[in-house]
Amino acid sequence: MDFPIFQVPYLGNGTTIALNAILHVVISHGVAIGVMAMITISEYIGLKRSSGKWEAFSKDLLKLAVIIITGVGAVTGVGIWFITSALSPRGIGSMLRVFFWPWFIEWVVFTLEVIVILIYYFTWKRWTGEKKRAHIYLGFTYLLLALCSAFLITGILGFMLTPNGWPWSKNFWSAFFNPTFLPQLLLRIAGGFGLGILFSAGFLLFKRREELFRHEALRFFGKGVLISLVGSFIFSWWYFKVVPSSFKTNAIFSVLTSHFSQQPELFWMANLIAGALILLFSLSGLRGRILPSKVLILPVILLSIGFVTEYETAREFIRGPYLMPGYMFANRVLLKENLFFDKNGTIENSYWYNQTVTRPDIIAQGAYLFGQNCSACHTIGGINDIGDRVRGRSEDGFFVILKHTHEMVPFMPPCSGTDNERRILASFLYQLSAGEIEIGAPSRFIRLRLKKK
Amino acid sequence: MSGLFDLLLTKPLSDLLLRGLLFVAFTLHILFALLTLGTAFLAFYYFIHAWCGRRLHEWRWDKDILRTFLAHKSFAVVMLILVPMLLTRQFIQDRKWLSFAEQLQTNAANYEKELGPYSEEALRQYQSNLRIACDKGETIYSRSCAFCHGDDARGNGPEAKNLQILPEDISAVRTTRSYFHRILVDGISGSAMPYFTYFDRNKLQGLVDHLDKRYHMIGLPGPISVKICSEALEQAKKVYTETCSACHGTDGRGSELSRRFKPPPPDFTAYSLSPWRAFEIITNGYPGTVMASFLNLKEEVRWGLIEILNAKRKAH
């Protein structure tokens, strides 16, 4: 098509985006919303109960939070833009066309967030006594801005699964306030609070020694974990209730992958055990038990991050064949373009390919067709290796299956191109599975020769 | 300025607004780059400072330079660099970039026009796909299997003509639940039959249930309706030991040699076909595989071979 195709070796393009995104979600939800909420509330409790311990606790935690939010949080946020611009320019470009203003507003909101959090941090010592109340308001102002960010981004993320009437009407408001918007927003807030409370509890358990304060704060956090756990459960149930069943049916597979798909009970068992452990932690917190809480906190934090990963994976995966449902397939071919390519050819209409390739080499064509149709999800020799996926099939089998990918696999986009192009791709895949060709090893980027002028 | 209120950017931005926005954006970017560079420079400076220790500490000039550098000079330098850079950028942009952008826009509009006729059909397909949830055996069969095996599972789907090894007639298969599940999980090496682990076990079991309900494929093959005299049966036994067992093994599980075949023969202790279908394969062979035609054998002997296979299946 009209952009160069990059294929990240080993990890693959999807996983690369996912790794960055999940780290960003854990920080933006867990720290920027959750921990910051706990900090502001702790400061408020400190004022209410005139307790220096609560005040000192929230101040020490703030330093850590500011560094993480403005460092890792901001970098991974920009990272998403950078990575998607390189790996999926057409996808992110189309998303920008629909959601230009929400993203623009989000940029302003994020800048304000950083300014407010820095003021909040640097005025801690100066705004005391009379001004303490104003300082706490500043904290809540930050929280409000962070929730605005969540509001804006959730509309866009929800659209990518349930665009509602947008494919037909192109109506912005129905795209933004789509069916999964509200449950997802509430789920993200509940989950973010839960993660934040767990992070704060970890800080409390390992960085505070005063017995009385530890008990008091732990009981408070235990209550918080319980509420967020129940909230997350209810909202995720609501969320999956709204998701159309043609997507939802792939949720369990998205988590288990083909390694474990034949033991579906693993899915329920793992989730149940993880949920039970988090519940156990919140109960031990409620009772103010230090030792069991200390033992549980690290596994529970890891499990919660696991829950975040699980949810994001499922949400991204089940939208399956689409990047923008009703408009664009996951391999960045437009729905209408797919029909056009089937009739008129993919290669012939690929601006970038025709600019770079010198002669119609059949392997280069096959490699390009792979890059165009498959490389959004599959790698050559890495995670979700196409070699593993096709091993043992016959060449005519490839040809037939390539015509039916979207029917055969409910979450796979169609392979676009004429019958002849499908034959080229089939022969490329067959040779690849037989180990007869190697592409740009060891980097496994698709190597195409530059046209000489 | 009306462009500012065009929230969805349906109209192109006015030239003035576009240039203004670009100017502001580039200014911010370059400022940001300079700040980053400055920070890196400072970090490097402090690093050297710490590294050289006291010796450098004695040089009083560094602090003075640093202080003035940060205060006034940096601003002057920024302005000196920034303004010409931006003006140059703007100048080049007017001459090169804007015309290029116009060209791109025309290309995009033309392409959009070409795609136009496909739009309605694409949306129609999208809508009908949204209604399909692949969670029932019946849906899974019709979406994932029928294009080769056919709607009535007789192995005559629309794509069968494109395959050298014809898809199996599922309606004639008589096998066990676990053997069938294994085929679905592993595929059949050397043929077009892929693996289906992208459906979880419950869904695959649903598919097996659906096929069993329609074609009774879980179970033993039915009795042979033809009468076979003991002489023919003896001859069939001889043929099996001398010919068939080379590939299928004396026990029917497949020989050492045939395991490397693509595709390998099935395990007759767990997998059979209805008698008439087995007869058809022995008579005509299985196209695309090593299994040859045994038309030269007497009809009764061929039936006798089926009797032998069924006995092997029943023994397990």
pLDDT in tens, A103-121: 999 989 998 998 899 899 9
Which pair of structure tokens corresponds to residue B18?
Answer: 């576009």
Q: Provide the Cα torsion A341, A343, A348, A353; round to 10°.
A: 20
Asked if residue B187 has pLDDT above 60, the reply is: yes
Q: Å from A138 to nearest chain B CA?
A: 27
Q: Can you give the pLDDT at residue A395?
A: 92
Residues A201-224 as b/e (b if ≥16 CB within 10 A, e otherwise) read bbbbbeebeeeebbebbbebbbeb
Q: Can you give the pLDDT at residue B1?
A: 43
Q: What is the ipTM of this complex?
A: 0.89
A30 contacts A192 by C-beta, under 8 angstroms: yes
B155 contacts B169 by C-beta, under 8 angstroms: yes
Per the CB < 8 Å rule, is A400 touching B147? Answer: yes
Alpha carbon separation from B118 to A91, A210, A323, A343, A440 (Å, rounded): 20, 70, 19, 11, 36
Q: How large a percentage of chain A has pLDDT more than 70? A: 96
Residue in B with minimal Cα distance to A245: B133
A69 contacts A27 by C-beta, under 8 angstroms: yes
Give A252's contacts in chain B (Cβ within 8 Å): 200
Q: Can you give the pLDDT at residue B207?
A: 96
| Average of per-residue pLDDT across A162-173 | 91
Q: Provide the residue type at B148 as one letter.
A: C
Q: Can you give the pLDDT at residue A305?
A: 96
Which pair of structure tokens corresponds to residue A13?
Answer: 């393009």
Interface subset of A 83-112, CB within 8 angstroms of B: 97-98, 100-101
| Average of per-residue pLDDT across A238-257 | 93
Which pair of structure tokens corresponds to residue B271?
Answer: 């997998």
> In this predicted model, which residue has the larger pLDDT, B4 or A305?
A305
Q: Provide the Cα torsion A388, A393, A399, A402; round to 10°.
A: -40
> Which range among A183-187, A282-286, A378-382, B82-86 shows the weakest confidence by mean pLDDT?
B82-86
**Length of chain B in terms of residues written:** 316
Interface subset of B 102-141, CB within 8 angstroms of A: 114-116, 118-119, 121-123, 125-126, 129-135
d(CA A23, CA A26): 5
- Give the closest residue to B267 by CA, choosing from B316, B201, B304, B197: B316
Give B123's contacts in chain A (Cβ within 8 Å): 167-168, 326, 335
| Average of per-residue pLDDT across B266-289 | 93
d(CA A110, CA A145): 8
Q: Can you give the pLDDT at residue A441?
A: 45
Cβ atoms within 10 Å, residue A125: 8
B159 contacts B147 by C-beta, under 8 angstroms: yes
Whether chain B has a CB inside 8 Å of the CB on A355: the answer is no
Cβ atoms within 10 Å, residue A362: 12
Whether chain B has a CB inside 8 Å of the CB on A317: the answer is no
Phi and psi, residue B272, nearest 5°:
-135, 175
Which pair of structure tokens corresponds to residue A68?
Answer: 């993480």
Average pLDDT for chain B? 84
**Length of chain A in terms of residues written:** 453
Q: Strand locations in A335-384, DSSP E?
A: none
d(CA A29, CA A24): 8
DSSP letter (8 states) at residue B218: B
Give B199's contacts in chain A (Cβ within 8 Å): 253, 261
Average pLDDT for chain A? 90
B303 contacts B230 by C-beta, under 8 angstroms: no
Q: Å from B148 to nearest chain A CA?
A: 8
Model confidence at B3, pLDDT cuts 50, 70, 90, reads very low
Per the CB < 8 Å rule, is B114 touching A340? Answer: yes
Q: Can you give the pLDDT at residue B51?
A: 67
Q: What's the Rg (C-alpha) of chain A?
A: 25
Give A401's contacts in chain B (Cβ within 8 Å): 192, 194
| Average of per-residue pLDDT across B11-35 | 72
Per the CB < 8 Å rule, is B159 touching A263? Answer: no
Q: Can you give the pLDDT at residue B71?
A: 54
Phi and psi, residue A328, nearest 5°:
-135, 135
Select the residue of B131, B192, B202 nearest A393 (Cβ to Cβ). B192
| Average of per-residue pLDDT across B244-268 | 90
Per the CB < 8 Å rule, is B191 touching A325? Answer: no
Q: Which positions ≥6 away from B229 have C-beta within 8 Å?
A: B300
Best residue of B118, B163, B205 to probe chain A, by most A CBs closer than 10 Å: B118
3-class DSSP assignment, residue B174: strand
B114 contacts A334 by C-beta, under 8 angstroms: no
Model confidence at A223, pLDDT cuts 50, 70, 90, reads very high
Q: Can you give the pLDDT at residue A443?
A: 37
Tell me which H or E stretch contains B204.
Answer: helix B201-215
Asked if residue B228 has pLDDT above 50, the reply is: yes
Q: Can you give the pLDDT at residue B66?
A: 57
What residue has token string 């979207």?
A: A406
Query: pLDDT digit string (tens) for A68-105?
Result: 988 888 889 989 999 999 899 999 999 998 999 999 99
**Angle at alpha carbon of residue B104, lines to A413 and A78, rounded to 5°:** 65
Give B4's contacts in chain A (Cβ within 8 Å): none
Model confidence at A54, pLDDT cuts 50, 70, 90, reads very high
Give B192's contacts in chain A (Cβ within 8 Å): 393-394, 396-398, 400-401
Give B200's contacts in chain A (Cβ within 8 Å): 252-253, 256, 261-262, 264
What residue has token string 């050289």?
A: B52
Euclidean distance between the first and the last CA atom of chain A, given in angstroms as a whole number: 21
A446 contacts A439 by C-beta, under 8 angstroms: yes
Per the CB < 8 Å rule, is B121 touching A261? Answer: no
Whether chain A has a CB inside 8 Å of the CB on B8: the answer is yes
Q: Can you give the pLDDT at residue B98?
A: 74
Phi and psi, residue B86, nearest 5°:
-65, -40
User: Within 13 Å and on the Cβ side, how many CA atoms surround A244?
Assistant: 21
Alpha carbon separation from A86 to A13, A18, A89, A97, B128 (Å, rounded): 10, 14, 6, 17, 33
Q: How large a percentage of chain B has pLDDT more than 90? A: 53
Interface subset of A 166-205, CB within 8 angstroms of B: 167-168, 172
Whether chain A has a CB inside 8 Å of the CB on B187: the answer is yes
